[in-house]
Structure 1
């Protein structure tokens, strides 16, 4: 870690009004700690270490005597211990301070600090609070370079949807058999052609399978039948350590005459997506930074008012960064309620979904906050169901 990186950590700590950020690891159980501090995951970590970054001044490294060099790449004063009593005594130097750590009652995705260590910190007189907002500021807010990477990935995904649906349409009009796995392969080839990489094959779900939000194709999957809904969900990023994901979902109807009830349901879903976007910009224009939970509540309110409470199975969206489900704000008030604010540089999905026994819909766009306004990445978003 260089001086610039340390200053960035300390600036985030001051922005959140905290005394410091307490990093901890044991057997590399906290990948975020290793990532944020730039530590090798291959180093031997058989004993706990702590790294306390104060809001100002020199950090403190608490390391075991037999692994004394494990934090040598980091600035700060080194304090050695060889037993539990020594470690606890060393931790007492931070008594009375409010320190952020990787634990959060609502966000298990960043909760790596175990309960026993949390108790030991409390006994040392340390007030431990969630580091979720700090993690967002350091990892979940994108630079302009990051945003360009994200936008390129998003543009590629939109193009892949267009190309894929052309092939789907050709199969429909020529009465060729088409399987879910065929569509999935088309999407993966489109990614390969554009040098985009994904951590998991895209979701392609036809008919009743579209009612399963995380349906996975097995082998070729099922044949797509005329009159069925086809749900597409694809995510990918460019190569490189700092490449940023894009993640979109589109819905098609494998037929030429869409039944009126399906049109109506999809329109309600689109309305809820657009309400999320409007709500964010309405608040930002008034100088208010909405939280992820508040945006999710707006979407749910609209869908519940239109009679869909039983068809909602998941949150409205998730943070996006170098991971598809990133460390920034989630648009979530019900699964993992997220009260972090949407700051400039935040990037996230808006993907309301409605699921029934015979079909399901999910429309997903990616949004980023730039200079106090919410923008959509990629090309023109979906307003009507795709048809052949």
Structure 2
């Protein structure tokens, strides 16, 4: 895929735009002659070039590229194998950087050579301390677990799902307060060594993220014949369920990213579990009010953040594919398309090296990987890689 600044992004296929945006972070894929030796450029916007949220989207997007090229290619696997290898290499690099202390001299406390994720993974914040300093976010960690799970399904290698479960087991108790009680609660941000709660308030989506992602990990382990590994998550899943029950009806935010990620999370179970279908319905109502009543997309983009709206588009598109309500599915897809349409001229210009400064430097990586995911949710979507492993009710 060429990254020529003269390319007209609007004339490209959706897949072409997806790939071009990914290349702006991870380099020209055509120039990678030996994927096994590829080192991801240090351009993910974080400490030592790695940022957990951005690179989680990067891994999932590489899996999508693999699948899209597999589907469209009639000439074999030269491209498709490349993208899976790039996903593997990105995973290894993230584990090597964010699974170590900031100076790179030691693994995080709790991690070993046998269990490299036993200490969690750092966020990758540029600052070591302060209000926006480094640490560990539960919602970043669960997205990374999901990326490992999807890589496991895409490659048929259960080792990646085992890594995700090892990470899940390691970080879970550190984010809980009064875990053994009937009314446990969670904290939003932990220190890099998981010893101190840096933000003791409870994240809005964290218990739902955990409840859904841990069940997906469990299902994959059981499908791979690893019963003891999968059932080993029963306690953690029960913890998340108790937090959800304590909180009662989930608060539905008006923030575009929160709305989108809530829809994405619920789409895994909204066709068969009432809590998910009810929450999805309330999200849809909030989206309707945001777009139809508040006329959100009429606001000047100077006062909006592209990556947050790309999260909306991602969640909306994933949910529209699964919604049994066909009329609602059409409405949802139209909102996802409208978000992309409102940002396409901006992305066309900002992806050109000469105009890259239009997006603040710290927001470029997250904006570009999430733009790709909004264009083609791909591996974010349930069933995209084939029938999903059966979850325990």
For the aligned pair, the TM-score class normalised by the smaller chain equals: under 0.3
Q: Which has the higher contact order (CA 8 A, sep 6+)?
A: 2
Instruction: Report which of the two has the higher share of strand.
Output: 1
Q: Which has the larger radius of gyration?
A: 1
TM-score by length of 1: 0.24
